[in-house]
């Protein structure tokens, strides 16, 4: 019996590669039998093709990742969370003096905002009457300052007289004969 000659030196690495390939196939078969999904050496993540991916740097133009003005950042946060209506309502109370002016603000204050109706409390019945006369202009100023639709109507009330009710029983009538306001 004659022994087969050794393969030439340049083909010896092919025999080793065949052994590696068979070992890998056996390992893949064992993994598949355990229910594992095994690829063939390629990544399951698709590669990005040049030209199809968006750049990841800001560049010379403005970008959303650039530093923002605090007011713009909070406005965007309120809009994304659905707080815009509540923020606008708070702006009516917060900016009252700048919206209506110093003179009106010193004699009338907003007390409640419910479903677009702003309740304003005047310090006297005379001021309440004057505010009712300029109600349309006040609504326009408020809409210009905080946006349309926040305040649709004004309810202007005068001062509240003290209650003379004492105890749990009450008789209907005019009460004390004094005027207030």
The H or E element containing residue 24 is: helix 12-33
pLDDT for the residue numbered 72 = 84
In a domain, residue 49? The reply is no
pLDDT for the residue numbered 43 = 46
The token duo for 62 is 């403005």
Closest-CA residue to 92 (of 132, 129, 157, 147) = 147
Integer Cα distance of 67 and 73 in angstroms: 9
CB 149 within 8 A of CB 113: no
Provide the residue-wise pLDDT of the chain in tens; the chain has 181 residues: 555 555 555 555 556 667 777 887 888 888 788 777 666 555 445 545 455 556 566 677 777 777 888 888 888 888 888 887 788 788 888 889 999 999 999 999 999 888 889 999 999 999 999 999 999 999 999 988 888 888 899 999 998 777 777 778 877 766 666 555 5
In a domain, residue 15? The reply is no
In a domain, residue 116? The reply is yes
Integer Cα distance of 151 and 136 in angstroms: 12
In a domain, residue 37? The reply is no
pLDDT for the residue numbered 51 = 52
In a domain, residue 171? The reply is no
- Give me Rg for the CA atoms of the chain: 40
Which residues share a beta bridge with 156?
A: 120
How many domains does the chain contain in total?
1
The backbone torsions φ and ψ at residue 155, rounded to the nearest 5 degrees and listed phi first, read -120, 105
In a domain, residue 139? The reply is yes
Is the entire prediction scored with pTM above 0.75? no
Closest-CA residue to 110 (of 137, 123, 92) = 92
What are the strands, taking DSSP E only, across the chain?
108-114, 117-122, 153-157
pLDDT for the residue numbered 175 = 63
In a domain, residue 93? The reply is yes
pLDDT for the residue numbered 77 = 87
pLDDT for the residue numbered 165 = 74
pLDDT for the residue numbered 180 = 59
The token duo for 81 is 């969370």
107: CATH: 3.30.300
Domain extent, residue 77, equals 70-157
The token duo for 154 is 């004004």
pLDDT digits (tens, 9 = 90+) for 59-100: 777 777 778 888 888 888 888 888 877 887 888 888 899 999
In a domain, residue 47? The reply is no
């Amino acid at each position: 019996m004659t022994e087969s000659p050794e393969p030439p030196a340049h083909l010896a690495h092919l025999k080793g590669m065949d052994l590696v390939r068979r070992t890998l196939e056996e390992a893949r078969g064992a993994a598949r039998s355990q229910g594992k999904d095994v690829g063939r050496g390629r990544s399951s993540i698709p590669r990005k093709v040049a030209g199809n991916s968006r750049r990841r740097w800001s560049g010379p133009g403005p970008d959303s990742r650039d530093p923002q003005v605090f007011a713009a950042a909070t406005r965007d946060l309120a809009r994304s969370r659905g707080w815009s209506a509540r923020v606008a309502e708070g702006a009516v109370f917060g900016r009252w003096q700048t919206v209506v002016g110093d003179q009106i603000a010193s004699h009338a204050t907003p007390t409640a905002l419910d479903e677009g109706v702003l309740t304003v409390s005047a310090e006297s019945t005379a001021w309440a009457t004057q505010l009712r006369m300029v109600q349309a202009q006040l609504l326009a100023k408020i809409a210009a300052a905080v946006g349309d639709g926040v305040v649709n109507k004004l309810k202007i009330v005068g001062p509240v007289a003290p209650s003379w009710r004492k105890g749990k029983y009450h008789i209907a009538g005019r009460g004390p004969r004094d005027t207030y306001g």
